Amino acid sequence: MSAGRISVGGTADPGLYATPTGSPNSAGWIGEIAYLPFSHGGPALWPWLNFRIGLQYTRWSKFDGSTSNIDGTGRSAAANNTFFVYVWTMF
């Protein structure tokens, strides 16, 4: 299990950042839960095989300098929240 803070900052520059505010400032959190089913060696047939199964959630509280109307159409920063499920195969 892990968690982290996202914080992106910078000076507003409408010529550089194509956002309604001209700002790159964004903030949020990422949380992840992962499980390694074969953490002490893989199955007998393939002892080198391993998997990682995880869930990750990203929550935005500020995106491109705004908390609401981030793209000029009324979308909020929370509209960019993401839930991600994955399986890694390692060998």
By three-state DSSP, how is residue 80 classified? helix
Task: Please give the average per-residue pLDDT across 64-87, as a whole number.
Answer: 91
**36 bridge partner residues:** none
For the chain, give the mean pLDDT. Answer: 88
Q: Give the domain extent around 63.
A: 2-90
Locate tokens 């959630």: which residue? 57
Structure tokens at 68: 């609401």
- How many domains does one find in the chain? 1
For 78, residues 6+ apart whose C-beta sits below 8 A from its C-beta are 59, 60, 61
Task: Please give the average per-residue pLDDT across 55-77, as a whole number.
Answer: 91
Q: How many helices (H) and strands (E) does the chain have?
A: 0, 4
- Residue 58 banded pLDDT, cuts 50, 70, 90: very high
- Of the two residues 39 and 1, the one the predictor is more confident about is 1
Q: How many percent of the chain have pLDDT more than 70?
A: 96
